[in-house]
Amino acid sequence: MLVQTCSGLVQGIALDGAYVFRGIPYAAPPIGSQRFKAPMPVSAWRGIRTCDRFGPIAPQKNVPNGFMPELAQSEDCLNLNVWTSGTSAALKPVMVYIHGGGFVSGKGAECDGLRYAVEDGFVFVSINYRLGTLGFLYLGELLGEEYGTSGNNGMLDIVAALQWVQRNIAAFGGDPSQVTVIGNSAGAKCAATLYAMDAARGLFRGVIAQSGATQSIRDRHTANTTTMRLLDELGITRSQAHRLLELPAERLIEAQSAIGFDTSRSLHMFGPVADGSVIPTEPLGSLGTRSHLPPLLIGTNEDEAASFIQGDPLLWPPSLEIAGRLFGTSAPIVWESFVQYNDILPSAQAWSRTLSEHLYTIGAMQLAAAAADAGASVWMYRLQCGGPLGAIHGYEGSLINGPQNADSAINPDDPHRVDPEDYPLARGMRAAWVAFAKTGNPNVTLLPAWPVYDSERSTMVFNRVSRVRTDLPEPAGAGVPHQVWRVRSCS
Are 80 and 26 in contact, with CB atoms under 8 Å apart? yes
- Cis before 317? omega within 30: yes
Are 175 and 87 in contact, with CB atoms under 8 Å apart? no
Are 421 and 392 in contact, with CB atoms under 8 Å apart? no
What order do you get walking across the sheet with 2-4 strand by strand? Answer: 2-4, 9-11, 48-50
Burial of 6 (0-12, 13-18, 19+ CB in 10 A): exposed
Q: Interior CA angle at 467 toward 96 and 438, to 5°?
A: 25
- Dihedral class, residue 207 (left if φ above 0, else alpha if ψ from -120 to 50, else beta): beta
In the 3-class helix/strand/coil scheme, how is 208-266 assigned residue by residue? EEECCCCCCCECHHHHHHHHHHHHHHHCCCHHHHHHHHCCCHHHHHHHHHHCCCCCCCC
How many CB atoms sit inside 10 A of residue 43's CB? Answer: 10
Spatial CA neighbour of 391 closest among 307, 482, 488? 307
Q: What are phi and psi of 318, to 5 degrees?
A: -60, 140
Going by their DSSP bridges, the two strands 174-184 and 378-383 should be labelled as unpaired
Residue 385, CA distances (Å) to 140, 344, 379, 391, 443 in order: 44, 22, 18, 6, 20
Instruction: Please list, in sequence order, all residues whose beta carbon lies within 8 angstroms of the beta carbon of residue 474, skipping any fewer than 6 positions away.
Output: none
Cα 278–chain centre separation: 18
Q: What are phi and psi of 366, to 5 degrees?
A: -65, -45
Instruction: Please list, in sequence order, all residues whose beta carbon lies within 8 angstroms of the beta carbon of residue 367, skipping any fewer than 6 positions away.
Output: 192, 195, 209, 213, 214, 215, 284, 296, 298
Q: Helix, strand, coil: what percent of the chain each, to 5? A: 35, 15, 45
- Residues labelled catalytic: 185, 304, 393
Residue 337, CA distances (Å) to 261, 344, 412 in order: 22, 12, 33
Give the C-alpha separation, 99 to 101, whole Å.
7
Q: Using CA of residue 183, residue 185, residue 187, residue 188, what is the dihedral sign?
A: positive
Give the C-alpha separation, 268 to 266, whole Å.
7
